[in-house]
Amino acid sequence: MPTPFEGGCMCGGVRYRCEAEPGMTYYCHCEDCRRGSGSAFHVGLGVSKDAVTVLKGEPKSFRKEADSGRGITRMFCPTCGSPLFTYPDVWPDIVMIKAGSVDEPELFEPNIEIYTDSKVSWAHIGPTVESYPKGRA
């Protein structure tokens, strides 16, 4: 994926730039990601926290304890509500960018899916991704 790349929310109120190549691109089927995305699953790009700069606007945050027992802070646009990033306690140096917020989502392709234990039966990803019933250790 060419870097830097940029993204933002639906209304354009929040814009960000990422300077690093994502280290992990994945689908997550856990219940929190389902509800937080409003879709059947979340698609995330894991990058180093330092690599992401908010260029415009100020995302709001919401924190919740995750299935793992550790917290996740979810960031979203205060105006249009688009989800943008998540910060998992378990990896304090990492931010997960919501893949749907990237300007050019064709530039990457997730290769694993996690929390398939919680997967909605009709939410098929396809046979080319590695599946993990819970998180990836």
Residues in region 107-136 near Zn ion by CB under 5 A? none
Of 77, 96, 97, 102, the residue at the interface with Zn ion (CB under 5 A) is 77
Nearest one of 77, 59, 56, 67 to 31, comparing CA atoms: 67
Which residue, chain included where needed, has tokens 């919401």?
62
Minimum CB–partner distance for residue 22 and Zn ion (Å): 16
Judged by CB under 5 A, which stretch of 28-36, 47-55, 93-101, 122-130 contacts Zn ion? Answer: 28-36
DSSP element (H, E) containing 76 = strand 71-76
Asked if 99 touches Zn ion (CB under 5 A), the answer is: no
Contact 10, 95 (CB under 8 A): no
* Dihedral (CA of 22, 23, 27, 33) sign: negative
Judged by beta carbon, residue 18 or residue 36, the one nearer Zn ion is 36
User: Considering CB under 5 A, how many residues would be counted as binding Zn ion?
Assistant: 9
Of 30, 45, 47, 51, the residue at the interface with Zn ion (CB under 5 A) is 30
Asked if 95 touches Zn ion (CB under 5 A), the answer is: no
Nearest one of 103, 109, 79, 108 to 7, comparing CA atoms: 103
Residues contributing to the site for Zn ion (CB under 5 A): 9, 11, 13, 28, 30, 33, 77, 79-80
